[in-house]
Amino acid sequence: MARIIAGVTSSHVPAIGAAIDLGKTEEPYWKRVFSGFEKSKEWMAKAKPDVVIEVYNDHASAFSVEMIPTFALGCAAEFPPADEGWGPRPVPVVKGHPKLAAHIAQSVILDEFDLTIVNKMEVDHGLTVPLNLMFGSPKEWPCPVIPLAVNVVVFPPPTAHRCFMLGRAIRKAVESYPEDLRVVVMGTGGMSHQISGPRAGLINSKFDKAYLDAIANDPLKLTRISHVEFMREAGAEGIEMVMWLIMRGALDDKVKEVYRFYTVPASNTAVGHIILENIPRAAAKVKRPPVGKKTVAGRSSKPKRAAAHRVKHDTVRTKR
Ligand code: DHB
Ligand code: FE
């Protein structure tokens, strides 16, 4: 059985990619940012996941304003870097995992999350910058990466609650995949930033730090944050942080925080990063919810292997 071993969040500022590509990582401004990811790279090298599922947002590179899927899962064998105006970044082509991706698409869609299946897609800094931060700059990325693109660019993005529940559905999908794969889920984007308009340059460290605390220890609280609150507190682009909740929904309720880093700014953005591990099952007392009860749709659900993590669309009640 495949299982999710950990979740990672990281910002995705394009200037971080440019600093890597232009050899500026030792400059004091950038060293402050990159030094915060040294331990993370060590952690990742030890964790050695078989697959990464990376939740990220496209910035009008793969999807123009002509077509805006809310959730788009990359099911292709590879995803080349996109040209964002200066030519494609000199990073390896991302290799996907078509079999696991197709399995996730099937499981999640049958669980009533209507995601878009994408069989051809280029990936921009939203995906490649966090990969650099976690894996450095290798010749090839060390494992397959399944991209999950989320619309946070054009109103309305998905709600925080919807993202969390999608994470739960993804977890159920992964745990019903028969091959023994160790999976890390990355939730990227954020933290507070606004890159245009009268509030350009806005950063709210108090909000960001509280968000980091809650993503580790009280994620349900974050599912109640509205779009307006994200924008008011964390700037227009701060809405990217809903993507972290897909990662968090895919983890256990209680997790072990193994590392955290926060620095301000990188370009216009507060950089926030956290690594959360699922506690191995043998060590944790897993409280299993009753199975065989009526589901929301009124169907009777039969106990199955992954029943402990059945997605219940009404599990988390929120005020919006
Ligand atoms: C910046 C941050 C982003 O998330 C982005 O997509 C573009 C620019 C910035 O901080 O400059
Ligand atoms: Fe962005």
CA angle 120, 55, 119 (to 5 degrees): 15
Ligand 1 centre distance from Cα of residue 96 (Å): 25
pLDDT, position 46: 98
Determine whether the shortest distance from the Cβ of 12 to ligand 1 is under 6 A: yes
Determine whether the shortest distance from the Cβ of 152 to ligand 1 is under 6 A: no
Percentage of the chain beyond pLDDT 90 is: 87
Residue nearest to atom 5 of ligand 1 (CA): 13
pLDDT, position 281: 76
Determine whether the shortest distance from the Cβ of 150 to ligand 1 is under 6 A: no
pLDDT, position 282: 72
Select from 125, 226, 105, 79 the least CA-distant residue to 166.
Answer: 105
pLDDT, position 290: 58
Determine whether the shortest distance from the Cβ of 59 to ligand 1 is under 6 A: yes
Residues 6+ apart with CB under 8 A from 60: 153
Catalogue the active-site residues: 125, 193
Ligand 1 centre distance from Cα of residue 241 (Å): 13
Pocket test for ligand 1, best of 12, 267, 271 (most atoms within 8 A of CB): 267
Q: Which residues of the chain have pLDDT under 50?
A: 294-310, 313-320
pLDDT, position 316: 45
